[in-house]
Chains A and B, each alone.
Chain A
Amino acid sequence: MSDPQPILELRNLYAGYGETEILHDINMFVGSHEVVAIIGPNGAGKSTAIKAILGLLNIRGGEILLDSTPITNTPPEVAVTKGISYVPQTHNVFVNLTVQENLEMGAWTMRAGIEERIEKMYALFPDLRDKRRQAAGSLSGGQRQMVAMAKALMVDSKVLLLDEPTAGLSPKYRGEIFETIQKINATGVPIFIVEQNAKQALGIADRGYVLVDGSNRFTGTGAELLADREVARMFLGGRD
Chain B
Amino acid sequence: MWASFGFEFVNFYLIPGLVLGCIYALGAIGITLTFGILRFANFAHGEVMMTGAYLTWTISTLAGLWLGWSLHPLIAAVPAIFAAIGILILIDRYFYKPFRNAPTIMVVMASFGMMLVVRSTVQFIWGPNQLTFVKGIDKPNEAVRQFTADLDLMILVPNKHFWIMAGTVIIMLCFTYLLERTRIGKAMRAVSDSPDLARVTGIDVEAVVRATWVVGGFCAVAAGVFLAMDIQFLETTMGFRMLLPMFAAAILGGIGRPFGAVFGGLIIGLAEELSAYPWIGDAPLISPGYKTGVAFTIMIIMLIVRPSGLFKGRTF
Contact = CB atoms under 8 A, between A and B. Distances in A.
Interface in B177-207: 183, 186-187, 189-190, 192-194, 196-205
Interface of B: 183, 186-187, 189-190, 192-194, 196-205
Given A77-B205, A105-B186, A95 B200 contact: no
A86 B186 CA distance: 20
B182 to A, nearest CB: 11
Interface stretch (A21-29, A37-45, A96-104, A230-238): A96-104
Contacts of A2: none
Q: Which 7 A-B pairs have the closest CB atoms?
A: A80-B202, A109-B202, A94-B193, A94-B190, A76-B200, A76-B199, A108-B203
Given A91-B197, A94-B197, A77 B202 contact: yes
A80 B183 CA distance: 18
Contact residues of A: prevailing secondary structure: loop
Contact residues of B: prevailing secondary structure: helix
B201 A105 contact: yes
Interface residues of A, number: 24
B195 to A, nearest CB: 10
A108 B190 CA distance: 11
A94 B189 contact: yes
Nearest to B257: A96
9 contacts: A76-B200, A77-B199, A93-B197, A94-B190, A97-B190, A101-B186, A101-B189, A105-B190, A152-B201
Contacts of B189: 94, 96-97, 101
Contact of A104 (B183, B196, B200, B204): B183
Given A77-B200, A105-B190, 6 more contacts: A77-B199, A80-B201, A91-B194, A105-B187, A109-B202, A152-B201
A222 interface: no
